[in-house]
A and B are shown apart, each in its own frame.
Chain A
Amino acid sequence: MTTVLEAEGLGKRYGRKWALRDCTVQIPSGHVVGLVGPNGAGKSTLLNVAAGLLAPSSGTINVLGGAPASDPKQLARVGYVAQDPPTYSGLSVADHLRLGAHLNPTWDEDMALRRVEQLGLDPRQRAGKLSGGQRAQLALTLAVAKRPEFLILDEPVASLDSLARREFLQILMETVSEDRVSVVLSSHLVADIERVCDYLIILVASRVLLAGDVDELLASHHRLIGPRRDPSSLPESQVVIEASHTDRQTTLLVRSDGPVIDPVWSIEPVSLEDLVLAYMGQGRTNHAAIDVDAKGER
């Protein structure tokens, strides 16, 4: 697997609190990677370190073969959009584009103008007067017009209404289909992730609990419903992620690479949202004891 990001034992500490601790993760190239996890899992910290905005306290991180933000060339290859779309409220849309052109050696003026026109933005409008959706689109325009190889988006749509969110994702996907840029996108909106991401990473308390191709993950997880039964009696090829029982019935969420053939089970597919929730729930029970102070403040 070729990667755009590789981190090993990565940590970021604020005083005595670890926002990210001992994180080992690989982000494959050529994909739109969804990064999901509960609040405080370390998603934003990881992305901020990757963008070069934060220096790690421990461990190593490699982005496109170099240290994040190590030199202007490296900076030009990575695009980044922060959680609250970073625009200057006093500057006009045109000012933002001028700023982008001035600061980025690889700036694509044609593309920037085309995007602004496509979005129906008035170049003379001040960013402060734009809607939240338009500001996010402007920030995305700035990030993609520098023609990055790797685009980092930290909760880019969290504050948008569903229409603005859909429009943002449409433009993002068009960009990906034109430019073949690798993307990592953190979000807690799993429905959005399922639409636009083809690779998923679940991060809980700095640890990767699951990483893989979205289609393969959906194909290898099943919900089994049947008469009450001890989950430990399942074949070894079926890994139980989540189990619940009533006095008569057992419901399991299992990972199994082969087909489940036991006729006792009624087998249902699992939605990505249920899958994510099951792993996050599992992560809480398994890691709660060791990672109490790694969760940070909420």
Chain B
Amino acid sequence: MIEFYLDTKTGVSPYLQIVQQVRRALKLGLLREGDQLPTVKEVVGRVAINPNTVSKAYRELEHEGLVTARAGVGTFVAQTQSDSSIVAQGPLRHDLEKWMTRARGAGLDDESIEALFRDCFRFSSKVGVA
């Protein structure tokens, strides 16, 4: 079962952090169809987080079709994320690692690499802020 954590330094709202953690676990294949998410009460008791926040995150995931809520039973993963995206991750990761090696070879330090990556990322996604 997935275990949530909260990073209060990021400026990302708590509900969005929960949503992102589930999405990430799905993308990495850590959550599969039929897996149950912890109940709101379980999350709240462990992470010391507002129950409305957890419910809101679960509603958002449901709205995206990633999970389904079964009344009185719990919240379950609706479908395993398309295997093609997981399969594609291997070679992409390999490319990225090669790129990292090249960047280090060119004398960039960790911070410059991160700045460059974030800049490209922001540019290519072409969205200001949501």
Of A173, A219, A269, A271, the contact of B48 (CB 8 Å cutoff)? A173
Check if A195 sits within 8 Å of B49, measured CB to CB: yes
Bound-complex Cα distance A219 to B48 (A): 22
Bound-complex Cα distance A191 to B47 (A): 13
Check if A218 sits within 8 Å of B13, measured CB to CB: yes
Check if A197 sits within 8 Å of B50, measured CB to CB: yes
Which residues on the A side are within 8 Å of B56 (C-beta)?
Answer: 215
A177-B41, A259-B129 known; A194-B8 Cβ under 8 A: yes
Distance in angstroms from A144 CB to nearest chain B CB is 15
Report the interface size for chain B: residues with CB under 8 A from the other chain. 27
Which residues on the A side are within 8 Å of B12 (C-beta)?
Answer: 218, 269
Beta-carbon nearest neighbor of B15 in chain A: A215
B6 at the interface (CB under 8 A from A): yes
Of A177, A196, A260, the contact of B128 (CB 8 Å cutoff)? A260
**B 83-111 contacts with A by CB, 8 A:** none
Bound-complex Cα distance A41 to B56 (A): 32
Which residues on the B side are within 8 Å of A268 (C-beta)?
Answer: 11
Of B45, B50, B129, the contact of A195 (CB 8 Å cutoff)? B50
Of B9, B16, B40, B47, the contact of A271 (CB 8 Å cutoff)? B9
Distance in angstroms from A4 CB to nearest chain B CB is 15
**B 39-95 contacts with A by CB, 8 A:** 40-41, 44-53, 56
**B 4-20 contacts with A by CB, 8 A:** 6, 8-16
**B 107-130 contacts with A by CB, 8 A:** 127-130
Check if A174 sits within 8 Å of B14, measured CB to CB: no
A166 at the interface (CB under 8 A from B): yes
**A 146-169 contacts with B by CB, 8 A:** 166, 169
Distance in angstroms from A294 CB to nearest chain B CB is 31
The 4 closest A-B pairs by CB, nearest first: A269-B11, A177-B51, A169-B48, A259-B128
25 pairs, A vs B, C-beta closer than 8 Å? A166-B48, A169-B48, A170-B44, A176-B44, A177-B41, A177-B44, A177-B51, A195-B8, A196-B48, A197-B50, A215-B13, A215-B14, A215-B15, A218-B11, A218-B13, A222-B129, A259-B127, A259-B130, A260-B128, A260-B129, A269-B12, A269-B129, A271-B10, A271-B11, A272-B11
Residues of B at the A interface (CB closer than 8 Å) are 6, 8-16, 40-41, 44-53, 56, 127-130
